[in-house]
């Protein structure tokens, strides 16, 4: 089954638009951007369009490439935004950890601050799912995939995909193995019932490497000959029971889940203020 991520994203955004309307005004999501690449600019255009679909407005705050950590923190704290997202990666000259941790909990739709991520890890009240995890959960729900007891391999241990995906799958009862460039083994891939790949390495996964019927979630994106591609060769669909292609698979769903989180945060604040 090939996942149509754009269709699923449209379903989510229609619901988000309805929920966000209870606030009675246009919601603003501010994206902090430094030293963007061509791929970043393309991603921002997609986010801006999906924000409109969600009944929100994407405000892009472009900071100079040589901006200091303090200048980024000032921009994050500026009034007028309901949610704040920081487009990664940031230049090495700034303190990325400090910047992400300064995103207010009530505005952290991307779940990038330590406080928001801790809520997610320990399933605390009010916790949000990181957008990629929300997208994976959506795919599993719509395809009837159950993670409990399944041998699950995560390729990559990054902050956006690998780490949160591993946390969530373990919480769902899966047997989780995280593979990195140094620990990658074909045997582990061959035995996996579920694979979530966020390596950003074109052609990393080929059909002959996979178990028949594997659930293959490709969350890796990179540029190859001017095109956006994933970690899995498109022919992997021949052996996978569930396959998210790149582009058009998990990515659009993750963007929709970002705006779903933004809506949830604002609606919660609105409801709290209404009952105060």
Q: Are 197 and 205 in contact (CB under 8 A)?
A: yes
Q: Are 149 and 187 in contact (CB under 8 A)?
A: no
Residues 131-158 pLDDT 10s? 999 999 999 999 999 999 999 999 999 9
Q: Report residue 42's pLDDT band, with 50, 70 and 90 as the boundaries.
A: confident
- State yes or no: pLDDT of 275 exceeds 70: no
3: in domain: no
Token reading at 241: 């029971």
Q: What is the mean pLDDT of residues 108-129?
A: 96
CA distance 43 to 51: 12
Domain with 188, as residue range(s), is 131-252
Check whether residue 89 and residue 51 sit in a common domain: yes
Token reading at 235: 């022919």
Check whether residue 64 and residue 168 sit in a common domain: no
Q: What is the mean pLDDT of residues 207-232?
A: 93
Q: What is the mean pLDDT of residues 105-133?
A: 96
Q: What is the mean pLDDT of residues 177-185?
A: 93
Q: Report residue 187's pLDDT band, with 50, 70 and 90 as the boundaries.
A: very high
- State yes or no: pLDDT of 166 exceeds 70: yes
264: in domain: no
CATH of the domain at 246: 3.40.50.720
Q: Return the pLDDT at 93.
A: 95
3-state secondary structure 163-196: HHHHHHHHHCCCEEEEECCCCCCHHHHHHCCEEE
Listed residues 106, 123, 146: the one ending a domain: 106
Check whether residue 165 and residue 98 sit in a common domain: no
111: in domain: no
- 151-155 and 27-34 beta bridge pairing: unpaired
Check whether residue 91 and residue 158 sit in a common domain: no
Q: Return the pLDDT at 21.
A: 87
Q: Return the pLDDT at 274.
A: 60
262: in domain: no
Give percent of the chain with pLDDT exceeding 70: 98
Check whether residue 75 and residue 182 sit in a common domain: no
- State yes or no: pLDDT of 107 exceeds 70: yes
CA distance 14 to 35: 32
Check whether residue 149 and residue 219 sit in a common domain: yes
Check whether residue 199 and residue 144 sit in a common domain: yes
57: in domain: yes
- State yes or no: pLDDT of 23 exceeds 90: no
Q: Report residue 19's pLDDT band, with 50, 70 and 90 as the boundaries.
A: confident
64: in domain: yes
46: in domain: yes
Q: What is the mean pLDDT of residues 173-184?
A: 95
Q: Return the pLDDT at 226.
A: 82
The whole-chain average pLDDT of the chain stands at 94
Q: Report residue 276's pLDDT band, with 50, 70 and 90 as the boundaries.
A: low
171: in domain: yes
CA distance 236 to 244: 10
Q: Report residue 210's pLDDT band, with 50, 70 and 90 as the boundaries.
A: very high
Q: Return the pLDDT at 40.
A: 83
């Amino acid at each position: 089954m090939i996942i149509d991520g754009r269709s699923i994203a449209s379903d989510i955004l229609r619901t988000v638009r309805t929920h966000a309307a209870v606030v009675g005004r246009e919601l603003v999501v501010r994206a902090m951007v430094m030293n963007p690449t061509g791929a970043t600019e393309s991603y921002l255009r997609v986010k801006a369009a999906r924000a409109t679909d969600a009944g929100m407005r994407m405000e892009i705050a472009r900071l100079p490439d040589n901006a200091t950590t303090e200048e980024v923190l000032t921009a994050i704290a500026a009034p007028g935004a309901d949610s704040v997202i920081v487009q990664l990666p940031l230049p090495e000259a700034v303190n990325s950890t400090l910047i992400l941790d300064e995103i207010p909990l009530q505005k952290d739709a991307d779940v990038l601050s330590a406080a928001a991520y801790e809520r997610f890890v320990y399933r605390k009240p009010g916790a949000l799912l990181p957008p990629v995890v929300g997208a994976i959960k959506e795919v599993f729900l719509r395809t009837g995939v159950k993670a409990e007891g399944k041998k699950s391999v995560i390729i990559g241990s990054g902050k956006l995909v690998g780490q949160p995906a591993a946390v969530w799958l373990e919480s769902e009862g899966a047997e989780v193995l995280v593979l990195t460039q140094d620990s990658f083994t074909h045997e582990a891939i061959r035995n996996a019932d579920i694979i979530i790949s966020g390596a950003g390495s074109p052609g990393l996964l080929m059909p002959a490497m996979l178990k028949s019927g594997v659930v293959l979630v490709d969350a890796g994106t990179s540029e190859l000959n001017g095109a956006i591609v994933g970690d899995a060769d498109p022919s992997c669909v021949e052996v996978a029971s569930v396959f998210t292609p790149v582009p058009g698979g998990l990515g659009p769903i993750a963007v929709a889940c970002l705006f779903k989180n933004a809506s949830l945060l604002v609606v919660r604040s609105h409801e709290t203020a209404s009952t105060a």
